[in-house]
């Protein structure tokens, strides 16, 4: 039993499963964002944050009121996560999923590591090589083709920095409070952030008008996809509570491998859903990036998955 419990709580394994689920959901998101009634980004992100309130169901399972400072940090982390998601989905909506989102696999771990050094006293305990290889894989996939950098980089960097800040704030919270206590306040912060979108009349009209225009099939697909993404996001947060945030973000290369494979499959067999360009050069470079991500995961696995910024 001790072995299975150790495996179940391994931060690296949890992060792999989490990013795999999120990768599948992002391909689904790309399909949904092409459908009528689902194309308004503000409305899309609003509902993403609004359903986070279901995190309150964890209250009976070990919630204890943290200090005011820790509660505030968790709230800010939740708000930053929603803001990061806005830029994230802006990149997904505007460009090719396998390219623009692969950029996150390179920039986000670096941003998270840069923030972790001063705020968490980052240490890798032998995992630096694996981290570097996985991050390199993300950058390789990003530069697989010539991209309009001036147009996309601001969104990508904004999302990467905000996701990095979210992860570091979460780790600070989990170092001081139990997981359930920190997670509950984190989801409240995300919900409050989504509710704030209603304060602007233009956005409020967009949210409700586009929600009404969406066909029932798209609404059902959206909610099922949000359930999958919600499970993935929950596991990402849990992984952050178990290991270094920068390592969890480096493992996000898994989601970009899945996005690449999913986008290729949709383009090949269901181009009416969405279509991406896959040149021979891009395929080769992305396969190299995929190989680097897998190699990095193996290196990290050889050194265990519990490095991080302090006790939990």
Total structural domains in the chain? 1
Q: Taken in order 44, 50, 51, 55, is the CA torsion positive or negative?
A: positive
| The predicted structure's pLDDT at residue 79 | 93
Report yes or no on 89 lying in a domain: yes
Which residue is it, tokens 């499963």? 17
Asked if residue 1 belongs to a domain, the reply is no
Instruction: Output b/e per residue, 15-29; b: 16+ Cβ within 10 A.
Output: bbbbbbbbbbbbbbb
- Residue 246 within a domain: yes
Q: In this structure, what token pair is assigned to residue 12?
A: 């690296």
Residue 119's domain comprises: 14-302
Contact 29, 89 (CB under 8 A): yes
The pLDDT value given to residue 142: 65
In the structure encoding, which two tokens stand for residue 295, read together? Answer: 């190699």
Residue 9 domain-assigned (yes or no): no
pLDDT for res 71: 94
In a domain, 154, yes or no: yes
- Say what the pLDDT of residue 188 is: 94
pLDDT of residue 225: 77
Note down pLDDT in tens along the chain; length 312 residues: 444 344 445 777 888 888 888 888 878 776 766 654 445 678 778 887 888 888 898 898 888 999 999 999 999 999 999 999 888 777 766 555 555 555 666 677 777 778 877 777 666 555 677 777 777 776 776 666 565 556 667 777 888 889 889 988 998 998 888 889 999 999 999 999 999 988 888 888 877 776 555 555 556 777 787 788 788 888 888 888 877 777 777 777 677 778 778 878 887 787 776 666 667 777 777 778 777 777 776 676 555 544 444 333
- Secondary structure of residue 155 in the 3-state scheme: helix
Is there a domain that residue 5 lies in?
no
pLDDT confidence of residue 23: 81
Asked if residue 312 belongs to a domain, the reply is: no
Number of H helices, E strands in the chain: 14, 0
What pLDDT score was predicted for residue 80?
93
In a domain, 3, yes or no: no
C-alpha angle 100-102-108 in degrees, rounded to nearest 5: 105
- The CA distances from residue 269 to 26, 113, 151, in Å, are 18, 39, 29
Report the alpha-carbon distance of residue 144 to residue 289 in Å, rounded.
9
**Full-model pTM:** 0.72
Residue 288 burial by Cβ neighbours in a 10 Å radius (0-12, 13-18, 19+): middle
């Amino acid at each position: 039993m001790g072995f299975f419990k150790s495996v179940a709580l391994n931060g690296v394994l949890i992060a792999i499963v989490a990013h795999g689920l999120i990768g599948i959901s992002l391909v689904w998101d790309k399909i949904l964002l092409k459908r009528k009634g689902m194309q308004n980004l503000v409305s899309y992100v609003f509902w993403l944050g609004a359903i986070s309130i279901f995190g309150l169901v964890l209250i009976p399972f070990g919630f204890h009121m943290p200090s005011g400072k820790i509660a505030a940090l968790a709230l800010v982390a939740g708000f930053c996560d929603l803001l990061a998601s806005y830029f994230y989905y802006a990149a997904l909506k505007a460009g090719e999923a396998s390219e623009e989102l692969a950029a996150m696999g390179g920039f986000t771990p670096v941003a998270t590591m840069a923030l972790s050094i001063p705020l968490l006293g980052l240490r890798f305990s032998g995992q630096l090589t694996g981290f570097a290889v996985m991050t390199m894989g993300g950058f390789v996939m990003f530069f697989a083709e010539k991209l309009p950098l001036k147009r996309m980089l601001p969104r990508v960097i904004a999302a990467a920095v905000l996701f990095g800040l979210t992860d570091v704030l979460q780790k600070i919270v989990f170092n001081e409070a139990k997981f359930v206590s920190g997670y509950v306040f984190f989801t409240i912060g995300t919900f409050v952030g989504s509710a704030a979108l209603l304060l602007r009349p233009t956005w409020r009209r967009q949210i409700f008008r586009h929600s009404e225009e969406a066909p029932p099939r798209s609404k059902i697909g959206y909610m099922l996809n949000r359930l999958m993404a919600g499970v993935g996001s929950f596991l990402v947060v849990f992984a952050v509570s178990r290991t270094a945030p920068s390592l969890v973000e480096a493992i996000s290369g898994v989601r970009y491998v899945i996005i690449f494979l999913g986008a290729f499959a949709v383009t090949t067999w269901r181009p009416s859903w969405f279509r991406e360009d896959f040149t021979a050069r891009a395929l080769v470079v992305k396969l190299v990036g995929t190989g680097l991500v897998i190699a990095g995961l193996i290196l990290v696995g050889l050194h265990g998955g519990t490095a991080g910024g302090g006790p939990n």
